[in-house]
Amino acid sequence: MGIERVLRHSAWICWKDLLEFSRSKLRVAMLIIMPLFMMMMVGFIFPSGTTLHDQPIAVANLDSGATGSSYGSTFVASLEYINNQTHVMKLSDATDFDQIKTQIQDGTLVGGIIVSEDFTWNLTHGQQGVIQVVTDQSNPQISSMMQAVLTGIVDSMGSQLAAQNLNHTYNISLEQTTAMLQPYNIEKKGIVPGDPNYFEFVAPGIMAMVVMMSLMTGLPHAISYEKDIGTLDGMLAAPTSRWSIILGKVMAQTTRGLIQGFIILAMSVLLFGVVIYGSILLVILLILLTVFSFVGLGILITSFADKEETATMVMMTLMFPMMFLSGVFFPVQQMPGFMQTIADFLPLTYAANAMRKVMVLGAGPGPIMMDVVVLIVFGAVLLTVAVPMFKRAMNR
């Protein structure tokens, strides 16, 4: 059977599938809404430093002070001054640790700052003044973020005080004190312009994932559904290659995946300020390669599953680990070792990685060669296993 004939038949089957799909307005609407929701979700669900503001924090100034002056009050005043500029916190007064504790338990506070009793005495006697930062351990994300913010503020207030002391006591210029107190200065420099943005991290991975999902859920569903309702027999009894049936279905599912992929791309650029540095053509080729690497798995599941429901269940079971372990939402590097090992065996890891390199870092074909090779190997191995299985399944 000629290749041209196989392609012609698969085009007709693809036409049929898409026509059938387009007959339900709700399905078409969902095709568009799904990627929109996906982007909104991942875009706004994760907290970032800039999103924290007006967090309720209580200050307990226990400093007994010294005659005429209290460094504790000065500290609180400067804290208020800094906060008036950033509005990260919403400050209130507290009498002691126990009150702060009660209020954190109530949920009216997310943290507290306690200026110790001997604060002024310590500072005037050549010792460190102690500031305690109280955090809400039940909310680790906010807790660690508040801890970082407060530590930063307290640190910089400390350095300022130290600089003033050095300036007064030893008559050293302010520039020199900075060099003495902070001998290292960190300058951030990315390889492309602009600040890193979570969308830039997540958008390429989501594109790869949506195409994968569309194929992985769509293909076994499409084939086993037709097997269930009996229409597959009509195609199998016609002089049509088994390849045409698979290929036609893959083409239809890929088209759907691509539409969703491009909605995500357009949204990232238009709504979330993602800048694409690489070539769009390379992005499309990568998406097609992603499809190739997953087709075998889809066919394999189709061959094993006797019914549509089974296929869907197997699909869901496999898809979740793939979504979360392949570095689409969370960087692979921050996972525990054994999970990183699992991620190494998931094609989506490589697809997301390559997409990110091309889209965010503007990489050409060279740097992604390794990912491309791995994807091709995945696809080839899975297809080698899947095709004989499929042929056998169709001929039972």
Do 111 and 59 touch, CB atoms closer than 8 A?
A: no
Q: Residue 167 burial (CB < 10 Å; 0-12/13-18/19+)?
A: middle
Nearer to another protein, 209 or 245 (CB): 245
Among the listed residues 24, 64, 138, 182, the single contact to another protein using CB under 8 A: 24
Do 92 and 59 touch, CB atoms closer than 8 A?
A: yes
- The answer to whether residue 395 forms part of the interface with another protein (CB under 8 A) is yes
**Total of chain residues touching another protein, rule CB under 8 A:** 30
- The answer to whether residue 5 forms part of the interface with another protein (CB under 8 A) is yes
DSSP tag of 127: S
239-268 mask for another protein (x: CB under 8 A)? Answer: xx----------------------------
Among the listed residues 230, 331, 337, 366, the single contact to another protein using CB under 8 A: 230
- Per DSSP (E only), the strands in the chain are 55-61, 89-93, 111-115, 131-135
- The answer to whether residue 12 forms part of the interface with another protein (CB under 8 A) is yes
Among the listed residues 228, 277, 314, 323, the single contact to another protein using CB under 8 A: 228
Which residue(s) pair with 111 in the sheet? Answer: 57, 135
- The answer to whether residue 393 forms part of the interface with another protein (CB under 8 A) is yes
- Smallest CA-to-CA distance from 252 within 286, 298, 297 is with 298
Give how far Cα 172 sits from Cα of 155, 175, 181, Å. Answer: 21, 8, 12
- The answer to whether residue 2 forms part of the interface with another protein (CB under 8 A) is no
Q: Which of residues 303-342 bind another protein (CB under 8 A)?
A: 306-307
Give how far Cα 338 sits from Cα of 346, 350, 356, 378, Å. Answer: 13, 17, 23, 21
Q: Least distance (Å) from another protein to the CB of residue 391?
A: 10
Q: Least distance (Å) from another protein to the CB of residue 386?
A: 17
Give how far Cα 267 sits from Cα of 37, 270, 291, Å. Answer: 11, 5, 22
- The answer to whether residue 117 forms part of the interface with another protein (CB under 8 A) is no
Do 222 and 253 touch, CB atoms closer than 8 A?
A: yes
Q: CA Rg, the chain, in Å?
A: 30
Q: Least distance (Å) from another protein to the CB of residue 222?
A: 12
Nearer to another protein, 68 or 239 (CB): 239
Nearer to another protein, 250 or 267 (CB): 250
Nearer to another protein, 212 or 246 (CB): 246
- Greatest pairwise CA separation for the chain in angstroms: 102
164-203 mask for another protein (x: CB under 8 A)? Answer: ----------------------------------------
- The answer to whether residue 144 forms part of the interface with another protein (CB under 8 A) is no
- Smallest CA-to-CA distance from 209 within 260, 276, 268 is with 260
Q: Least distance (Å) from another protein to the CB of residue 280?
A: 33
- The answer to whether residue 18 forms part of the interface with another protein (CB under 8 A) is no
Contacts of 249 (CB under 8 A, 6+ apart): 13, 14, 17, 218, 219, 222, 223
Pairing relationship of beta strands 131-135 and 89-93 according to DSSP bridges = unpaired
Among the listed residues 186, 237, 270, 281, the single contact to another protein using CB under 8 A: 237
For another protein, the binding residues (CB under 8 A) are 1, 5, 8-9, 12-13, 15-16, 19-20, 23-24, 227-231, 233-240, 306-307, 393, 395-396
